[in-house]
């Protein structure tokens, strides 16, 4: 009789990020306590010493300073042991000329992976390529998943962090491909009117050029992005 595969629940956007204590290449971390007041990109990779994962870590490190300018820390994870992470990081520095400066969780028992739903049925016992973007209050704000055979676009992850921060600061929404949207460029979307009165007022403001709008439900504006 075939045994059923264990299925782990995926945390949801808007929920508190599950807390944990884990061994990393930079010592023990307690999450989220050690990262209070910071944004965090927590991401898993299938295994050390694999080509696609190596290209991803290289790309993350190349953009690490850009993440830090956004008050954002990176945390990697796989179910390898810490000595494997350490040797892999040494290999990357020696062969590729770049030092991985963010911690990598050695989740060899799979405890963190289970908390975050990083192990998927049909994909073996390795973690898939998941990304959790977590805000300074410890709330999960975005989740991205990629299959093992497709490497991540790190610029997109950076864009999502920046977009969330602009959205929070200004109370707006971000259009597709922001800040290079095909309709409104780098401008952002004003939340739709919530009453008939507000809808009429918005159309009047658009006529007076006080705001820009295609209609009462599709208004937009420029915001300053630091």
Tell me what pLDDT residue 9 has. 74
Q: Are 53 and 90 in contact (CB under 8 A)?
A: no
Tell me what pLDDT residue 3 has. 47
Residues 44 and 123 in one domain: yes
Residues 97 and 209 in one domain: no
The domain containing residue 77 runs over which residues? 20-170
Residues 147 and 216 in one domain: no
Residues 180 and 155 in one domain: no
Residue 62 and residue 184: Cα distance in Å, rounded? 30
Q: Are 130 and 10 in contact (CB under 8 A)?
A: no
Q: What are phi and psi of 70, to 5 degrees?
A: -95, 20
Residues 133 and 59 in one domain: yes
Tell me what pLDDT residue 119 has. 85
Residue 171 and residue 184: Cα distance in Å, rounded? 17
Residues 101 and 55 in one domain: yes
Residues 147 and 189 in one domain: no
Q: Say if 104 falls within a structural domain.
A: yes
Q: What are phi and psi of 208, to 5 degrees?
A: -85, 5
Tokens of 193: 């009117």
User: Which of 170, 194, 215 is the last residue before a domain boundary?
Assistant: 170
Q: Are 10 and 116 in contact (CB under 8 A)?
A: yes
Could you tell me the CATH number of the domain that includes residue 61? 3.40.30.10
Residues 157 and 74 in one domain: yes
Q: Are 95 and 55 in contact (CB under 8 A)?
A: no
Residues 194 and 123 in one domain: no
Residues 139 and 193 in one domain: no
Residues 181 and 103 in one domain: no
Total domain count, the chain: 2
Residues 100 and 139 in one domain: yes
Q: Catalytic residue numbers? A: 53
Q: Say if 142 falls within a structural domain.
A: yes
Q: Give, for all 226 residues of the chain, the pLDDT tens digit.
A: 444 556 667 899 999 999 999 999 999 999 999 999 999 999 999 999 999 999 999 999 999 999 999 999 999 999 999 999 999 999 999 999 999 999 999 999 999 999 999 987 665 567 889 999 999 999 999 999 998 889 999 999 999 999 999 999 999 999 999 999 999 999 999 998 899 999 999 999 999 988 899 999 999 999 988 7
User: Which of 134, 149, 170 is the last residue before a domain boundary?
Assistant: 170
HSE-up of residue 100 (Cα within 13 Å, Cβ side): 30
Q: How far is CA 218 from the centre of its chain?
A: 27
User: Which of 150, 170, 190 is the last residue before a domain boundary?
Assistant: 170
Could you tell me the CATH number of the domain that includes residue 221? 3.30.1020.10
């Amino acid at each position: 009789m075939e045994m059923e595969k264990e299925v782990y629940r995926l945390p949801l956007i808007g929920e508190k990020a599950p807390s944990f204590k884990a061994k990393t290449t930079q010592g023990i971390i307690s999450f989220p306590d050690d990262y209070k007041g910071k944004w965090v990109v927590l991401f898993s990779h299938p295994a050390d010493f694999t080509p696609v994962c190596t290209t991803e870590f290289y790309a993350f490190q190349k953009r690490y300073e850009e993440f830090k300018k956004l008050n954002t820390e990176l945390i990697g994870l796989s179910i390898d042991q810490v000595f494997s992470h350490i040797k892999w990081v040494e290999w990357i520095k020696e062969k590729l000329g770049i030092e991985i400066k963010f911690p990598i969780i050695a989740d060899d028992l799979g405890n963190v992976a289970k908390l975050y739903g990083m192990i998927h049925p049909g994909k073996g016992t390795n973690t898939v390529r998941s990304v959790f973007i977590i805000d300074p209050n410890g709330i999960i704000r975005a989740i991205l998943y990629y299959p093992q055979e497709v490497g991540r676009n790190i610029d997109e992850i950076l864009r999502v962090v920046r977009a969330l921060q602009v959205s929070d600061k200004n109370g707006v929404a971000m259009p597709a491909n922001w800040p290079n949207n095909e309709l409104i460029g780098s401008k952002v979307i004003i939340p739709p009117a919530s009453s008939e009165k507000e809808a009429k007022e918005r159309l009047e403001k658009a006529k007076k050029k006080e705001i820009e709008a295609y209609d009462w439900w599709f208004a937009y504006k420029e915001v300053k992005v630091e």
